Chains A and B, each alone.
Chain A
Amino acid sequence: MSNKFSRRGVLKSGAIAGSGLLLPTYLRAESHSGFTNAPTGSEVVFGFNVPQTGPYSEEGLDELRAFQLAVEHLNGEGDGGMLNTFSSKALDGAGILGKKVTFVTGDTQTKSDVARASAQSMIQKDGAVMITGGSSSGVAVAVQGLCQEAGVIFMAALTHSNDTTGKDRKANGFRHFFNAYMSGAALAPVLGNVYGTERRAYHLTADYTWGWTQEESIAASTEALGWQTVEKVRTPVGAGDFSSYIAPVLNSGADVLILNHYGGDMVNSLSQAVQFGLRDKMVNGKQFEIVVPLYSELMAAGAGSNIQGVYGSMNWNWQLQDAGTQAFVKSFGEKYGRPPSNAAHTSYVQTLLYADAVTRAGTFNPCGVVEALEDFEFDGMGNGPVLYRGADHQCFKDVLVMKGAENPTNEYDTLEIVETTPRAQVEYAPDHPMFAGGDLGQCNPGA
């Protein structure tokens, strides 16, 4: 098999002033470099594969902003952002291994098929050596599988399902974002403190793989507190009107509603639950409460005042006060006039981490990069000390427990940080039952 797709800036040798074009030259200028899309010229290409159309396109666009910022910083433009606070000092702002970073973008439409087609075109046509992006776990898992087969690195951005680094983990794929298990582990103790240990929870869950893993994780960690799970109800994705799922909650005897929804579904189900007066109800002598385990600040703005006082979790938030966060928020804010979302943060960090790993490995060869990233410990990227665990390629770091702000002053501070849950509390064994059944396999350099 000879997948030799790279063709970037190589073949000018044949163009000896005009006459070169007349003669077919059957040559490949680069030697067999041993891995897919080995960069040969003065540039290296990244592929940014995000949803640009469809319901998640705002998040995709925010990721894209962060990617572009990261590329600027890698190439030594702008103020350098987190490069100044990153604990590894291998990157010097002169590109990667002396090569200037360029990028191509694609539209996943939040569909696994389309996302794979787009990633294929980045690999085959544009010679991308690393693909990143995401918006849904289905897409991330699908593209991660493709990158494994093609022999390029996949740096997952926004994907929260346990499966991405659980049963669908791949040697060429890495995830910086947190996952459903971590949400549960971080959120449950806080919920126990504020709502007590005698609660009865009712789950409304988006009926697909991400929803199920989150439902499983949250139910397990709240039941460990002593909560009971009254009912777990699956709702169709994109249902719009959730009223017929919310109405049964009223008489179920439950006193907490857990919404395992994301994006537009979350906005609608939360607003409608509030409309039905759930938050004004007293059940079992307790105030009825709603919990949204995974928050997205872009969507939180859409839920408006309904989100006040509702607990959830996040990977990162721009209101953190550490040096890395401040450096990133400053350069992002000055370039785009708005604070970055946590999707933007993970995208930015993943790009830098990849560049750093390449520099430390001294090669773009995926196997070298995998080796450099596995069990890599770093700091200064906004989450405190972080470990990229080698056993499953999942990052371990602090998790934020958030609450809808009571008095937001603008559309960007609709959420406030309640607690920074320490990393030790959200760690788990690589073969934890919720993550079992996966096999990294071996790194694949392709070609």
Chain B
Amino acid sequence: MDAIILQFFNGLEKGSAYALIALGLTLIFGTLGVVNFAHGALFMIGAFCAVTLRKVFEISKVSLDPTKTDFLGKPLEVKTPYVEAWFGETIGSAMINYSVPLAILLTIPVMLFVGWAMERGLIKHFYKRPHADQILVTFGLAIVLQEIVKYFFGANPIQMMAPSDYSGTVNIGAILGMDIFYPVWRLVYFFFSAVIIGGVFAFLQFTTFGMVVRAGMADRETVGLLGIDIDKRFTLMFGLAAGVAGLAGVMYTPILSPNYHMGMDFLVLSFVVVVVGGMGSLPGAVAAGFLLGILQSFASLNEVKAIIPGIDQIIIYLVAIVILLTRPRGLMGRKGVMED
């Protein structure tokens, strides 16, 4: 029983990441009709916003300590972060401690800018081009972004700590009278993604802007005929999608140590999630994300693997095949989106 509850929570947490990435991908598909192979790279850039912020906080004043020596026998360099020197040790170390959540403040403008620049500078010219061209150009862009990050941060994973107050475990079984401990940060991530998803839906549902975009997703031509400049709004949609991907990345860093190719690792998975959810359907993307996350967690149970060896490796793809064969347009796909 404990194991099942734990795996359910694991599934929720995995699913939150899948859902957030798929949500951004669907926004771009649904509104702009663009296959964005650089979406994984946006997720990665978000994660590296957190790394950058911590590195900035940790920029240090270097002084030599003659009493200690380094590996070559020279005096050891002692580093004091400037933030500790400026704001006092308590606030300074707290800033470093909370660098992951603080990085959200950095991520939002960075991602909006990256999204805006991508759309205006590149994607705009590819709306009328075949999907194959979109794949090639965004894939090329993804490689370029990756290599730039690799140049600055190296290829090894970089560990990011959750704030120390949130890095322990909490007893989630207390209500049921059981002792089931679960990492706090993973719960934080789940609630965070729930807020973001809710925010995006509310934005599309309750604002005029969102209404126009939804109308544009349903029938772009008619909205255009009504004299609404849909393109301008789509630029913002691209920024929004990039922002969602970036936020998904920045908060995920304490769970998964970021490295420069983490985006590629998520890319295929997120496409599968989007398609299982159904092209152009935002609720579908979110539902599919959680569904696949939970199924993947349960497939990793030893009891399940004993029955079907290797099932944990292929469960996502197997489920994708079954769903696509039984439901032609995924869980909630709309007719005519990306079927040509």
Contacts and interface: CB of A to CB of B under 8 A. Distances in A.
- The answer to whether A and B touch in the complex, with CB atoms under 8 Å apart, is yes
Interface string A427-444: 000000000000000000
Interface in A241-260: 241, 243-245, 247-248, 250-251
Interface stretch (A232-240, A358-366, A387-395): A232-240
Contacts of A334: 72
Given A231-B302, A267-B257, A272-B255, A339 B158 contact: no
Interface stretch (A10-18, A86-94, A182-190, A299-307): A299-307
B325 interface: no
A267 B183 contact: no
A244 B296 contact: yes
A58 B302 contact: no
A410 B10 contact: no
Contacts, number: 120
B261 interface: yes
A58 B154 contact: yes
B185 interface: yes
Contact of A250 (B2, B156, B185): B2
A237 to B, nearest CB: 9
A55 to B, nearest CB: 7
A244 B154 contact: no
Contacts of B11: 244
Contacts of A304: 159, 161
Interface in A381-432: 409-410, 412-413
B157 interface: yes
B45 to A, nearest CB: 17
Interface in B279-308: 296-298, 300-302, 305
A243 B13 contact: yes
A55 B261 contact: yes
**Main SS of the interface on chain A?**
helix
Contact of A275 (B183, B262, B302): B183
B71 A339 contact: yes
B169 A277 contact: yes
A16 B254 CA distance: 68
B168 interface: yes
Contacts of A330: 72
A240 B262 contact: yes
Contacts of B305: 233-234
Interface string B132-169: 00000000000000000010001111110110000111
A240 B261 CA distance: 11
B129 to A, nearest CB: 29
B175 to A, nearest CB: 18
A410 B70 contact: yes
Given A299-B156, A329-B71, A409-B68, A241 B256 contact: yes
Contacts of A56: 155
Contact of A238 (B168, B265, B298): B265
Interface residues of B, number: 48
Contacts of B259: 55, 264
A238 B159 CA distance: 16
A276 interface: yes
A9 interface: no
Contacts of B300: 244-245, 248
Contact of A271 (B76, B159, B168, B261): B159
A261 to B, nearest CB: 12
A204 B259 CA distance: 22
A207 B10 CA distance: 21
B312 interface: yes
B319 interface: no
A240 B298 CA distance: 16
A275 B167 contact: yes
A54 interface: yes
A238 B266 CA distance: 11
B6 interface: yes
Contact of B2 (A251, A271, A280, A412): A251
A298 B167 contact: no
Nearest to A251: B2
Given A298-B156, A333-B72, A409-B68, A233 B302 contact: yes
A442 B218 CA distance: 70
A36 interface: no
A241 B156 contact: no
Contacts of A299: 156-157
A216 to B, nearest CB: 18
B31 interface: no
B313 to A, nearest CB: 5
A54 B261 contact: yes
A288 interface: no
Contacts of B302: 231, 233, 248
A77 to B, nearest CB: 20
A57 interface: yes
A318 interface: yes
A412 to B, nearest CB: 6
A411 B77 CA distance: 12
A277 B183 contact: yes
A410 B76 CA distance: 9
B257 A264 contact: yes
Interface string A269-284: 0011001110010000
Nearest to B312: A236
A243 B6 CA distance: 9
A303 B254 CA distance: 11
A37 interface: no
B329 interface: no
Given A250-B2, A299-B156, A207 B301 contact: no
B174 interface: no
Interface of A: 54-58, 207, 231, 233-236, 238, 240-241, 243-245, 247-248, 250-251, 264, 267-268, 271-272, 275-277, 280, 298-299, 301-306, 318-319, 329-330, 333-334, 339, 409-410, 412-413
16 contacts: A234-B305, A241-B13, A243-B13, A244-B7, A250-B2, A251-B2, A251-B3, A271-B159, A272-B255, A275-B167, A275-B186, A275-B254, A276-B181, A276-B182, A276-B183, A305-B161
Q: Which are the 3 A-B pairs with shortest beta-carbon distances?
A: A244-B300, A277-B169, A304-B159
